[in-house]
Structure 1
């Protein structure tokens, strides 16, 4: 019974409200309120502060979020091993990845994994913006660049280089930039990460870090659309080398300003420090890490 109450509590936190959690679990508002009250009575503490518009976690509630995730993961792992045996895995995996990278590099790995494990389900969140792993109940996320969130653990799975590229038709019509500062005279396709617009592109000039502010009429929060517009000749883009490596090989895109490359960034799998990862999650993480190690 307590495990069911903890499941409901986590769903309330993830969905940001009691009504949404109740709808997803098929529970009436009265039942949700009763079970939450029973959980608070059991622990002898108020877990959520509720107003007419929102809910927020108390200090005790934040502590229970971490503990509940561990308890439920361990209980689910135990049930899976008893019912299926140690060789089989089952249950859901929730992860996040950048849109373009995830669609072209992660989805094929997931497809192969699901083909081998018929009782596993995957909930994939493709987004180029910031993702709150704990708030959204994600098992892990794939991220590129510097890990700024100190509450997460990370597993390095490879390196990633950002390249400046354009379609031959664009370069034929507008010329090829010879230095990073020449980008000021060009149409650039700009990426938005949440509320942040990536207008400052990094380079190395004479061994020194140098940022160039770029401009363009097309700004979008979808890396796949940035690549599409770039291939169609609408401007110059700054992309992950892994996203455009096939386009560069076939000549659909051309890398420019290569001698000014700002180097490599980390490709990482990140997950909450307090998470107890079920075996199915560990297996998918290792599958992804192995795939990128083999491709280097």
Structure 2
């Protein structure tokens, strides 16, 4: 009989191509993870991985076994989910990947509220502005802005909102209020690095005409929360999703710029693997975040 933890570990080794990374994810030392893999390979009487100093690659036998093991574990998860559905329970692991700013400053508090009502729910959050591979990162849900290219993912749209330019009152007092986006070249600009690339092209619209302005930043960061912190501190002009800054604009901590040049709305959506959707846990969390999003939009309506 196979140990379920050994199977889970081996699948994660295949996903991450690393014994140590898979072990850390499951709370195991590299030595314990290596021993577990060897135990499984001994039981199967074959090598599942071709080892190298940097990566673990599946052998032909490994590919065959991993796909079957993945399906077997999914069936077990489905059976457990079916029981939870029947009982209306919210329990088990829940791993969610969130954009840095929105996740830390808004969504995390919502999920804390939900988790406090479900003591058997084990919540794990991942913050970052890079695109998350749900399989390799082993997450159930990811919150993403914009259109999605991966057609294999299911999605639930939460809201439609544009990106906007904002600055603090102290920045405007010191550097002046820009009237048109073309004046951005005369100002300090805060640049978000997305997937390793600086986001130099900011989009706007006026009288149904779309256009973009290329900007050069004096400060850049790959963390959207830092970009907003800099803007709040008067360090420059930021280009953010309205959701990220709506509360601060309504409270007067940030000023909305170019309100008559707002570009088209972009979707904010939760994405998930199709195999996860039958889970009562996933459906409950999606519906909860959707309700919270609608309430937030009501509390902090668009000012354009």
TM-score (norm 1): 0.86
**C-alpha distance in structure 1 between counterparts of 2:54 and 2:169, whole Å:** 53
The aligned residue for residue 269 of structure 1 is 270
| Deviation, structure 1 residue 77 | 5.1
Structure 1 residues 256 and 19: CA distance shift in structure 2, 3 A: closer
What's the secondary structure of 1:177's corresponding residue? coil
What's the secondary structure of 2:87's corresponding residue? coil
- 8 Å CA contact retained: 1:81, 1:88: no
| Deviation, structure 1 residue 293 | 3.1
What's the secondary structure of 2:143's corresponding residue? strand
What's the secondary structure of 1:259's corresponding residue? coil
The answer as to 2:151 corresponding to 1:155 is: no
The aligned residue for residue 141 of structure 2 is 140
How many pairs were matched up? 292
The aligned residue for residue 29 of structure 1 is 34
| Deviation, structure 1 residue 150 | 2.8
- Aligned pairs (5 A) from 1:126-275: 126-275=127-276
List runs of 5+ in structure 2 lacking aligned partners. Answer: 298-304
What's the secondary structure of 2:260's corresponding residue? helix
**C-alpha distance in structure 1 between counterparts of 2:45 and 2:165, whole Å:** 54
| Deviation, structure 1 residue 205 | 3.9
Structure 1 residues 128 and 165: CA distance shift in structure 2, 3 A: same
Residue deviations 1:158-195 (CA, integer Å, cap 9, x gap):
11221111112211222222222111111111111221
**C-alpha distance in structure 1 between counterparts of 2:178 and 2:61, whole Å:** 57
What's the secondary structure of 2:163's corresponding residue? strand
What's the secondary structure of 1:170's corresponding residue? helix
The two structures, once aligned, show a CA RMSD in angstroms of: 2.8
- Aligned pairs (5 A) from 1:73-92: 73-76=74-77, 78-79=79-80, 86-92=87-93
- 8 Å CA contact retained: 2:82, 2:279: no
List runs of 5+ in structure 1 lacking aligned partners. Answer: none
Greater displacement, 15-24 / 97-106? 15-24
What's the secondary structure of 1:245's corresponding residue? helix
The aligned residue for residue 300 of structure 2 is none
The aligned residue for residue 115 of structure 1 is 116
| Deviation, structure 1 residue 288 | 1.0
Greater displacement, 262-271 / 142-151? 142-151
